[in-house]
C-alpha cells in the first residue's frame, strides 16, 4: 500500500531533550516536506526537500533540522525542543519535485513540557 | 511572500445541499492543491489543480490562474464531507496553506 509513515504518533518530552520524528515513504517520491499545524495559524511549512541531499527552508525553519540521505526517508530533528514547538506535525511527499498530488502522513502530536 | 485567503471561514449545510469554496492568492503560482482534513485529523488530497478544471465524483475544482483564484464545488453534500478544506499554493518546493473553510454537514 502506498503510504507516508510517521513515527511516533504521539510524543511527550521535556525542554532541551533532543528528539527525532521519522518520516518514510514507499512511493519513490522525489519531494518530501514537513509542516506544523497550530490552532489559529493553520499549516505552515518547516522544511522541504526536492531530492536526495537537497533541502530548503520553508516558512518556519527556526529550531528544526532535517536531512535527506536516502530518497525514502526525511527525518525531522529538534535538537533542543522548547514549549513553543508543541504542535501537530505532518510529513508529506509527492513526485516530480512537488509537481503532483501531495500525500500526507498521519501526523505526530508533540508536547514539549 | 504569497498570501492565501479562503472563504467562507465556516459553512453549515443541510445534507444534499451544494456549496462553493473559494481560494484567492496574491501572486503567480505553479502549484495549487485542495485538501480535506477529516474530524480525525487526516489530510486527504482532493485535487492537484494549478490551472483548469477537474472533477472527481461529487467534487470538482476550477483554477483561473490569470485571475489568481480557485474554486472547490461540493455537490449533494453528505455528512462525511464535514471537516476542514484547505487550499495550498506555491512555486518550486514552497507551499503556503490558507486558513481553511470549516464545513459542517447536518443530517
pLDDT digits (tens, 9 = 90+) for A7-50: 999 999 999 999 999 999 999 999 999 999 999 888 999 999 99
- Position B27 scores a pLDDT of 95
Nearest-CB residue to B94 (from A58, A88, A102): A58
Tell me what pLDDT residue B38 has. Answer: 95
Q: CA-to-CA distance for A106 and A6, rounded, in angstroms?
A: 7
* Antiparallel, parallel or unpaired: β A108-112 and A10-13: parallel
Residue A27 cell numbers, joined: 512511493
Strands in B1-107 per DSSP E: 4-7, 10-14, 19-25, 31-37, 43-48, 52-56, 59-64, 69-74, 83-90, 96-97, 101-106
Average of per-residue pLDDT across A62-87: 98
Q: Is the confidence at residue A99, as pLDDT, over 90?
A: no
pLDDT at A2 over 90: no
**Cross-strand bridge partners of residue A20:** A77
Kindly list the residues from chain B whose CB atom is less than 8 angstroms away from the CB atom of residue A61: none
- Per-residue pLDDT of B19-34, as tens digits, reads 999 999 999 999 999 9
Confidence bin at A97 (pLDDT 50/70/90): low
CB B72 within 8 A of CB B87: yes
Res A91 pLDDT > 70: yes
CA end-to-end span of chain B: 41
A72 backbone dihedrals φ, ψ, rounded to 5°: -80, -20
Strand, coil or helix: B11: strand
Can you tell me the distance from the alpha carbon of B4 to that of B19, in angstroms, rounded to the nearest whole number? Answer: 20
Give chain B's length.
Answer: 107
> Each residue of A39-49: pLDDT tens digit?
988 899 999 99
> pLDDT at position A100, please?
87
Interface of B with A (CB under 8 A): 1, 30-31, 33, 35, 41-45, 47-48, 86, 88, 90, 92-100
- Residue B5: is it exposed, middle or buried by C-beta count within 10 angstroms (0-12/13-18/19+)? middle
Report residues of chain B scoring pLDDT below 50. Answer: none
pLDDT above 80: residue A96:
no
User: How much is the pLDDT for B92?
Assistant: 87
Q: Provide the CA B14 distance to its chain's centre, in angstroms.
A: 19
- Best probe of the A interface among B93, B96, B97, B100, by most A CBs < 10 A, is B93
> Do B90 and A98 count as a contact with CB atoms less than 8 A apart?
yes
Mean pLDDT for the stretch of residues A83-104 = 91
Higher-confidence position of B99 and A96: B99
CB pair distance less than 8 Å for B93 and A56: yes
Amino acid at each position: 500500500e502506498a503510504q507516508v509513515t510517521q513515527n511516533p504518533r504521539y510524543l511527550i518530552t521535556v525542554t532541551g531533550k533532543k528528539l527525532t520524528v521519522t518520516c518514510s515513504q514507499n512511493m519513490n517520491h522525489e519531494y518530501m516536506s514537513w509542516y506544523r499545524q497550530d490552532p489559529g495559524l493553520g499549516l505552515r511549512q518547516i522544511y522541504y526537500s526536492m531530492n536526495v541531499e537537497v533541502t530548503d527552508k520553508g516558512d518556519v525553519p527556526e529550531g528544526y533540522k532535517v536531512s535527506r540521505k536516502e530518497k525514502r526517508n526525511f527525518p525531522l530533528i529538534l535538537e533542543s525542543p522548547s514549549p513553543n514547538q508543541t504542535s501537530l506535525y505532518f510529513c508529506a511527499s509527492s513526485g516530480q519535485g512537488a509537481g503532483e498530488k501531495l500525500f500526507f502522513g498521519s501526523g505526530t502530536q508533540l508536547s514539549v513540557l | 511572500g504569497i498570501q492565501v485567503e479562503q472563504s467562507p471561514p465556516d459553512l453549515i449545510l443541510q445534507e444534499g445541499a451544494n456549496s462553493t469554496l473559494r481560494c484567492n492568492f496574491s501572486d503567480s503560482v505553479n502549484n495549487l492543491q485542495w485538501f480535506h482534513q477529516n474530524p480525525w485529523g487526516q489530510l486527504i488530497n482532493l485535487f492537484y489543480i494549478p490551472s483548469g478544471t477537474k472533477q472527481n465524483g461529487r467534487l470538482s475544482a476550477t483554477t483561473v490562474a490569470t485571475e489568481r483564484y480557485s474554486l472547490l464545488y461540493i455537490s449533494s453534500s453528505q455528512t462525511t464531507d464535514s471537516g476542514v478544506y484547505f487550499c495550498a499554493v506555491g512555486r518550486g518546493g514552497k507551499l503556503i496553506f490558507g486558513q481553511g473553510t470549516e464545513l459542517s454537514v447536518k443530517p
